[in-house]
A and B are shown apart, each in its own frame.
Chain A
Amino acid sequence: MIEDQLGRCVASWYPGATGVTGAAKLSGGASQETWTFDIVHPAGNVGAILRRAPPGHSASPGRAAGLDAEAVLMQLAHDAGLPSPRVMHVLKPEDELGRGFIMQRIEGETIARKILRDEQFAKARPILARQLGKVVAGIHDLPAAKLPKLREMSATKELADLEREYRSFGRPRPVFELALRWLRERDPGPSKEVTLVHGDFRHGNLIIGPDGVRAVLDWELAHFGDPMEDLGWICVNSWRFGEIDKPVGGFGSREELFAGYEEAGRKADPDRVMFWEVMGTLRWGIMCCGMMQRFRSGPDHSMERAMIGRRSSETEIDLLRLLAPRGK
Chain B
Amino acid sequence: MQDEPTPIELIKAVADFLRNEITPAIKGHNAFKLRVGINALDLVTRQLALEQSNDAAESARLKQLLGADGPLLELNRALSEKIAKGEVDLQTPGLSEHLWQTTMDKLAVDQPNYGSYKRELGNK
Contacts and interface: CB of A to CB of B under 8 A. Distances in A.
Interface in A170-188: 172-175, 177-178, 180-181
B111 A311 contact: yes
Interface stretch (A37-45, A147-155, A204-212, A313-321): A313-321
A328 B89 contact: no
Given A172-B77, A317-B120, A318-B116, A324 B43 contact: no
A181 B100 contact: no
Nearest to B39: A307
A204 to B, nearest CB: 15
Interface stretch (A6-14, A222-230, A239-247): A239-247
B71 to A, nearest CB: 12
Interface residues of B, number: 35
Given A173-B80, A178-B90, A306 B103 contact: no
A310 B73 contact: no
A181 B40 CA distance: 33
B77 to A, nearest CB: 4
Nearest to A305: B36
Contacts of A320: 99-100, 103
B76 A174 contact: yes
Given A244-B119, A314-B110, 9 more contacts: A174-B79, A174-B83, A181-B84, A242-B115, A303-B33, A304-B36, A310-B111, A311-B111, A317-B117
Contacts of B81: 172
Interface of A: 172-175, 177-178, 180-181, 237, 240, 242-244, 303-304, 306-307, 310-311, 313-314, 316-318, 320-321, 323-324, 326, 328
B23 to A, nearest CB: 16
Interface of B: 33, 36-37, 39-40, 43, 73, 76-77, 79-81, 83-84, 86, 89-90, 96, 99-100, 102-104, 106-107, 110-111, 114-117, 119-120, 123-124
Nearest to B77: A172
Nearest to B98: A174
A310 B37 contact: no
A172 B15 CA distance: 32
B123 A326 contact: yes
Closest 5 CB pairs of A and B: A172-B80, A177-B83, A244-B115, A313-B106, A172-B77
B106 A321 contact: no
B40 A307 contact: yes
A192 B79 CA distance: 36
A30 B8 CA distance: 37
For A237, A242, A303, A310, the residue with the greatest tally of chain B CB atoms inside 10 Å of its CB is A310
Given A172-B76, A172-B77, A326 B115 contact: no
A181 B99 contact: no
A307 B80 CA distance: 24
A242 B100 CA distance: 20
A174 B36 contact: no
A307 B114 CA distance: 14
Contacts of A326: 100, 120, 123-124
